[in-house]
Amino acid sequence: MHFHRHYTLQILSLYGDTMLPAVNSALSGLQAFGTKMNSNANNIANASSEGYKKSRVSMASQAPQGVKASVETIDSPGSMMLEETSNGSELVELSNVDLSEELPDSQLNARFYQANLKTLETVDDMTESLLNIKA
């Protein structure tokens, strides 16, 4: 255990300038696209809820590398529907979620999440290979 830790520290000090930024970038990407996927899931689940306001995630680059996700509520009105109640007919606002937007967006976000995960797997494989070479 101590043997591998020693070589891992050596490898990170030798290759850290190229490998750690990839890890940090991929981790921030996982977090950001995970946030986007949660937003999509919440919007899709509430598409039939009266008056629900969808959320949107915007991303911005973050120094030294990576991305930061920010969630905001979109206050645009939903469709209005005439509904029969005990008081007669009333206009009711539906959610402002557009499933034709949310479903493809959720698939795209899942792919971006997978791409960031693959980056981490590749760095892990490279580190393991370097440890085997050094051993």
Counting DSSP H helices and E strands in the chain, the numbers are 2, 4
Tell me the pLDDT tens digit for each residue of 65-114. 788 999 999 999 999 999 988 888 999 999 999 999 999 999 999 999 99
Write the CA distances from 70 to 8, 55, 62, integer angstroms: 35, 10, 12
The arithmetic mean of pLDDT across residues 46-67, rounded, is 92
What pLDDT is stored for residue 2 in this prediction? 41
Report residue 122's pLDDT band, with 50, 70 and 90 as the boundaries: confident
